[in-house]
Amino acid sequence: MITIDHVSQVFQTSGRQSHLALSDISLTIEEGSFVSILGPSGCGKSTLLYIVGGFVNPTQGVATVKGRTITGPGPDRGPVFQEFALFPWKTVLGNVMYGPRQQGVKSAAAEAQARTLIEMVGLKGYENFYPKELSGGMKQRVALARTLAYHPAVLLMDEPFGALDAHTRTRLQNDLLNIWERDRKTVLFVTHSVEEAVFLSDKVVVMTRSPGRIKQVVDIDLSRPRRRAELLLDPRYQKYVVDIERMIDDTSEDELRP
């Protein structure tokens, strides 16, 4: 379980000005749930994820994971970034084995497990390829496998499909849900796509822009496992999408008002 308790984040910008990126955020994420943070760009949603990851220290407030205050990164929270951030000097296999090897897993065991994961993300046959030889979608599959390999309790996904084309994005969403169904890890998923958030999540946290505040938390009450074709035709799914889009439109209008 993750708790975020009255967290605010101030960034120093050039010219000695400060920018309030997150303002008084409180949120609880239950174990095994898939939670999306949704908001316009610049609303601080990635910053919130980085705070949970321990990559950024909040200016105020605390975040905890399983009751322990987060003070830095750790293998219990595995990030997947929009930029993939693969190790380019390692092959696909080398990337996926990296975390377990670091944690002292024997080479043979780490390799066997990595091969299983690579097959699970649909990249069997690409074990000895280098990242530069792969497409964006394939790189993100490797990044997901690399993070899953060290068994984090929480997956932190920072707009993971944001850099991909629509078709690849859809396929990766489907595959992510299939993989998630197997062990139902806690997932914190940052996105600016309403459809993506509703399709994947149990809970969608809608944020306002600048300073980032939580506007509303929407529970997505749609049965699992979810199938895209069925869901797109489901009026309840469509209502969630329309409702949340309205919320976001309202926040944009707020900004336009003086």
Partner 1 sequence: MIAGRALLSRFAPLLACLGLLAIWQAAALILQTDSFPTALEAIRAVPSILGDKESLINILASLRRMAIGFSVAVAVSIPLGLMMGRNRYVASFFNPLLMITYPVPKAALMPIIMLWLGVGDLAKLLVIFLGVSLPVIYHSFQGARAVEEKMLWSGAAMGLSAAQRMIRIVLPAALPEILTGCRTGLVLALITMVTSEMIARQSGAGNILFNALDMGQYETVYAMIIVIGAMGIGLDAAFEKLRSRLVKWSEPGFDIPLSFA
Residues in contact with partner 1 by the rule CB under 8 A: 53-55, 72-75, 77-79, 81, 83, 85-90, 98-99, 102-103, 130-132, 146-147, 150, 152
Between CA 155 and CA 188 the distance in angstroms is 6
Between CA 59 and CA 36 the distance in angstroms is 23
Q: Which is nearer to partner 1, 151 or 171 (CB)?
A: 151
Q: Which is nearer to partner 1, 78 or 211 (CB)?
A: 78
The answer to whether the Cα torsion of 77, 83, 88, 92 is positive or negative is positive
Q: Which is nearer to partner 1, 58 or 78 (CB)?
A: 78
CB of 86 to partner 1, least distance (A): 8
Between CA 93 and CA 111 the distance in angstroms is 7
CB of 232 to partner 1, least distance (A): 33
- Say which residue the tokens 């377990």 belong to: 100
DSSP 49-80: HHHHHTSS--SEEEEEETTEEP-S--TTEEEE
Q: Which is nearer to partner 1, 43 or 92 (CB)?
A: 92
- Say which residue the tokens 């994420």 belong to: 29
CB of 255 to partner 1, least distance (A): 29
Rg (the chain; Cα; Å): 19
Q: Which is nearer to partner 1, 81 or 189 (CB)?
A: 81
Mode of pairing for the β-strands spanning 34-38 and 186-191: parallel
CB of 87 to partner 1, least distance (A): 7
CB of 79 to partner 1, least distance (A): 5
